[in-house]
Amino acid sequence: MATTAWRFGGTEGADDAVLELKQLDDQGLINVQDITVLRWPHYAAAPLAHEHVTDEGSRVSSLVKKIRHPVIDSSMLEAVKGDMTPGTSALVMLSDQAMIERVVPAFKGQPMDLMRSDLSVQQQDRLRAAFSAATEARRGQPPADASG
């Protein structure tokens, strides 16, 4: 399982990403275990967190899911909050089995930045290169050389 944290320029970007991730999960392109959305509206003194947004149903159902499935470590959430600025949002996701070549195109046109992760440096570099290439292609720019 990998934990990744993604930053978005506006306060709604992470919400849009959650909807897309749920669809990708339903298609079997990624296995999403847990998601936390953080928003820092300009009027708030600090980021606001909405944890376990993938959980559905009653409180009892959510509790059972948390017992059976891993959840995002609170230290990661605190670190991401510390990296945010007013007017931004972030998505922290615990996932595995991502088909990157099929997941990346779903986010084409949505600028996002990998803030933190527990991936190796090489895995982070590959992930950043894939999303960077998609963003640059959207702008009509040639993708940066991602070989390495």
Helix, strand, coil share of the chain (percent; to 5): 40, 25, 35
Name the pTM for this structure. 0.80
Report how far residue 60's alpha carbon sits from residue 130's, in angstroms, rounded to the nearest whole number: 39
Report how far residue 114's alpha carbon sits from residue 4's, in angstroms, rounded to the nearest whole number: 7
Tokens of 131: 């999303």
pLDDT tens per residue across all 148 residues of the chain = 899 999 998 999 999 999 999 999 999 999 999 999 999 999 999 999 988 777 543 344 445 555 556 789 899 999 999 999 999 999 999 999 999 999 999 998 888 999 999 999 999 999 999 888 766 655 555 544 444 4
- For the chain, which residues make up each domain, given as ranges? 2-118
